[in-house]
Amino acid sequence: MKRIRICYYALIIITLLVSLASSNSVSSAALTSSATISSTGSVYVSATNWADVPADWRIGETWCAPTYLDNSVLHNGHLSIRMEKGPDATKSREILAANFSDPGWAIKIKPGDHIVFKIWMKTSQSTIGDTTPYSGIRLGIDFANSGGRITGSNSPDGTVWTPSGGYPINNFLNYVNWGHDWELRTMDFIVQNQYPADGILGYPAGVLQTPDHIAPWIQVWSDSLGNVDNGIGWFADAELYINP
């Protein structure tokens, strides 16, 4: 699949629509060729979906648990990516999106960018009876710069761990829990000038750093039980838009 592009004439039409918007609008309208994505007080124009399935996902890498295309489980007629546990329970049940046109596979961002990350996800039943709200399949984004990973967010509003507040309490909203059919989850936020490192990888905890690229991810996980469940997760029709 090619990335979504908006033609010249469509841009003219969008420009005319934007000119009719209220003078109190924070920014201009946000449209794609297939959908309108709105956020608090703003609409915006985006030309590129950076999370196209399957083109933009690192499917089948050996460092993680098995991930592969599944043309028997569809969402709106579109194939999905299936995430299993596999025989090695020590491997992360995670998959990353990447910009394969960049030498470092980096998806470039900068402070002030408006990010919208949308994914449809579904799950099988838990094999261990896990019914906690922080379990199933979830989406998230890691922030990084040339020095390495800074921190990550798996909250709808892009909030991250802080030394004073710990982890955001709304993290459960990014999960589709076990035993659920297709559900949409969305992250919608503005990239901050600096983020405190969470200390998991790279920078020491609490050190403030400015991000210049991101790594979007999907993960099968349980906050209380970790990576022991044999349940399966799927995702499809992913969208990632970065709007200056």
Q: Are residues 74 and 149 in the same domain?
A: yes
Neighbours of 61 (CB within 10 A): 13
Q: Give pLDDT, residue 45.
A: 56
Identify which has the larger pLDDT, 125 or 11: 125
Q: Over 50: is that where the pLDDT of 29 sits?
A: no
User: pLDDT of 208-217, one tens digit each?
Assistant: 999 999 999 9
Number of domains comprising the chain:
2
Q: Are residues 109 and 14 in the same domain?
A: no
126: Cβ contacts below 8 Å, ≥ 6 apart: 135, 136, 178, 179, 229, 231
14: Cβ contacts below 8 Å, ≥ 6 apart: 6, 29, 31, 45
Q: Give pLDDT, residue 89.
A: 87
Q: Are residues 26 and 82 in the same domain?
A: no
Q: What's the whole-number mean pLDDT along residues 134-158?
A: 98
Report the C-alpha gap between 62 and 42 in whole angstroms. Answer: 41
Helix (H) or strand (E) holding 32: none
User: pLDDT of 48-60, one tens digit each?
Assistant: 999 999 999 999 9
3-class state of residue 60 by DSSP: coil
**Least confident stretch, 5-9, 149-153, 158-162, 178-182:** 5-9
Q: Give pLDDT, residue 244.
A: 85
pLDDT band at 84 (very low <50, low <70, confident <90, very high): very high
Q: Are residues 182 and 76 in the same domain?
A: yes
Q: Are residues 3 and 106 in the same domain?
A: no
Report the C-alpha gap between 191 and 105 in whole angstroms. Answer: 19
pLDDT band at 8 (very low <50, low <70, confident <90, very high): very low
CATH number at residue 110: 2.60.120.260
- Tokens describing residue 222: 């349980």
Look up the domain containing 143 and give its range. 49-243
* Tokens 């999905």 belong to residue: 80
Q: Are residues 108 and 144 in the same domain?
A: yes
User: pLDDT of 91-101, one tens digit each?
Assistant: 999 999 999 99
CA atoms within 13 A on the CB side of 115: 29
Q: Are residues 3 and 119 in the same domain?
A: no
Q: What's the whole-number mean pLDDT along residues 222-226?
A: 94
177: Cβ contacts below 8 Å, ≥ 6 apart: 123, 131, 133, 135, 136
Q: Give pLDDT, residue 56.
A: 98
Q: Alpha helices of the chain — where are they, by DSSP H?
A: 8-19
Q: Are residues 90 and 41 in the same domain?
A: no
Q: Over 90: is that where the pLDDT of 183 sits?
A: yes
Q: Are residues 118 and 152 in the same domain?
A: yes
Q: Are residues 30 and 63 in the same domain?
A: no
Q: Are residues 87 and 208 in the same domain?
A: yes
- Tokens describing residue 109: 């961002």
Q: Give pLDDT, residue 46.
A: 59
Q: Give pLDDT, residue 216.
A: 98
The mean predicted confidence, pLDDT, of the chain is 85
pLDDT band at 218 (very low <50, low <70, confident <90, very high): very high
Identify which has the larger pLDDT, 231 or 2: 231
Q: Over 80: is that where the pLDDT of 7 sits?
A: no
Distance of CA 30 to the CA centre of its chain: 18
The backbone region for 107, taken as left when phi is positive above 0, alpha when psi lies in -120 to 50, beta otherwise, is: beta
